[in-house]
Structures are given as C-alpha cells and as structure tokens.
Amino acid sequence: MRTAIALLQAVAQTIQDTALTGGPLGRPGGPPPGFSFTEAFFQLLEFVGVFLSIGAIGFRFGIVRQIQRMSDEAKAILRADNAAMLGIAGIILIVLCALGQPYVDSIASHKAFAESLSRNMPQFEFRMTMLALALIGFMLVRASSSAGWMLAAIGTLLLVLQPLYTGRFGNKVNAAHIFAASTWLGTLLVLALVGIRGVIRSSSAGAQRAELVADLVNSFSPLALVASAILAITGVTTAWLHLKRVSSLWTTSYGLALDIKLVLVLIVVVLGAWNWRRVRPSLGGEGSELIIRRSARMELTFAAFVLVATAVLVSLPSPR
C-alpha cells in the first residue's frame, strides 16, 4: 500500500514539476490542481482488481481451454482453482474500493456513510450484485469448475462492461478500454503467476516444461493481439474526447499525465512486440521458458507503471 501511494505521489509530482507557466499550476511542490491522492489510490486498487478478475477469466477461457491435448501432469499444474484464487483477490479489491472510497469520503465530508455510497443507488446495487455473483463463481470453481467459471465470467463481465448499456458514449469507450487492457495485461499477469511460474516449478523434464509454456504463450498471442488492437482504438478515442484540443497535451496537468502514460504504454507495446516477434518463435527449446518468464516480468513491470499513471490521469479534471 505504501509503495502504491509513493508511486502515485511520484507521478503527481512529476506532472506538477513539468507543468508550464501558461498551464493551471497548483501550489509549488503540491499535487496538480483538482487531484486527489485518495481517489487515485482507490482507482489504482480497482484497476488491479479488474486486471486480476478479468485476467483469471481470460487465462481460463482464452488460454487453458484452447490447448487441445493436455497431459494429467499439465492439468495438475494448471489447476483451475489456482487462477480462481487470483480472481477472488481481484473481486475483493473491487469490493474494498466500492465501499472504502465512500467511507473515506463520508469521514472527510462529515456525512453518514449511506449518503456517500452512491447517488445512483440502483447502479450501486447492481455492481454489488455482480460482485457477489462473481465471488460465488470463483469460490465454486473447486467444487464445480464449469459452473463456477461460468458464474464468475457472467458476474465479472457484466460488472466491467455495465457502462456499455447504461452509460454515455464516453463511458462506453472507457469501459471497452479497461476491458481490453485487462484482457491483454491481466491475462498476461495470470499467465505469468499461474501458468509459466507453475510450469517452471514443476518436476517435469526441461523439454516438457518448455513445450507446455510454448503452448500457453501461443494460445495467449491471438487474445493479446485482438485486445491490444481494441485498446489502441479506444485509447485514442478516449484521449480525443477528454483533451478537446492538441495543445492540452503540454498546457494542462491532464495532458502531462497522459503524456507520461503514453510513453509507458509505448514501452509496454515494444516489449510485447519483442516477445511476440522474437521470443515466442524460440519457445519449445529447453530453457526457453526461463527467457519468456524474464521478458514477461519486464512487460508487466512497465504495465504496473501504466496503471499508476492511469490512476493519476482519471483522478484529474479534463481540460476545458
């Protein structure tokens, strides 16, 4: 938690330090105007929760289910409940954000907790219902894998994609953007933590481990390509809707935060392209699983920085 707050402070301070004189400056040494560390912190936690829950579903349906022939040993390594535990952690984080931020706001504004929960109570109740459904689904995976994963997928997808059928156009684009990012990088995170890590720690022969990792990565590649394409389209659309003019990129705190995010996203894209074009074709040889683990860690490290920058970005007011 302290690390997350420190990263948020560092990004916010960078935005403030690099703001131009003509831009809307805050007090010297302080955060950008309109920025709230509390809001950014809860946004970051929610992003991590969505990444874990969507990533668990993406790993199960987009990777494991796509492998045609899997040995009993491989099934034991890629047990369904391993990914489900990450999904449970993700749902818990989202619940903490849904209840934690209103609680902090109620203390700050000296209001009752119920008053700070949500102005749109039906929407809040729907979110909590879907969170409960997803949590029950992930918890049922051990007892009934098919039913559990189906419930978890329905609850999580309806939760994340709710703005597609209830929100305005901008909210619809944001929902698709978050879903695409979670499908790509969230699934990669679960792949690294459950798939690649589990295979490497197994007692299988080196060649067998390398072949299984190759199957996992090859199954992930089509999912990542589609998700990254949607992410690019929705990202450009979101930036255009919020910036309103190109000069906002260097004259506003929001634009500077977006600049930082774009640089980090570019690094993630380059690392992802390197893994796809150079590392993936070499998989299958003994020892290649260690190479993809290192490269995946690097990609996920910069993806974490992207999440921090995004949490700061969405906590800033859009340029007028």
Which H or E run includes 246? Answer: none
Distances (CA, A) of 42 to 62, 143, 179: 29, 33, 18
Identify residue 219 by its one-letter amino acid code: S
Q: Tell me which residue has tokens 């970051």.
A: 44
pLDDT in the model for residue 20: 44
List residues bridging with 283 in a β-sheet.
285
Identify the pLDDT of residue 21.
Answer: 42
Taking the mean position of all CA atoms in its chain, how far away is CA 171? 17
Q: What is the pLDDT of residues 17-30, one digit of tens each?
A: 555 444 444 445 55
Specify the pLDDT at position 137.
Answer: 96
| Strand ranges in 168-289 using DSSP code E only, listed in sequence order | none
The two structure tokens encoding residue 230: 């949607």
Burial of 281 from C-beta contacts in 10 A (0-12 / 13-18 / 19+): exposed
Low-confidence ranges of the chain (pLDDT < 50): 20-27
pLDDT at position 22, please?
A: 42
- What confidence score (pLDDT) does residue 23 get? 43
Distance CA 143, CA 306 (A): 36
Cβ atoms within 10 Å, residue 245: 12
Tokens 């935060």 locate to 257
What pLDDT, on the 0 to 100 scale, is given for residue 68?
66
The pLDDT of residue 128: 92
For the chain, how many residues are written? 320
User: Which phi and psi (to 5°) does residue 111 adopt?
Assistant: -115, 165
Check residue 228 and give its pLDDT: 92
Which residues fall within 8 angstroms of residue 20, CB to CB, at 6 or more apart? Answer: 250, 251
What pLDDT shows up at residue 1? 53
Cα 64 to Cα 58, 207, 219, 255, 274, distances in angstroms: 9, 19, 8, 40, 23
Token digits of residue 29: 């040494």
Eight-state DSSP code of residue 282: G
- pTM, to two decimals: 0.86
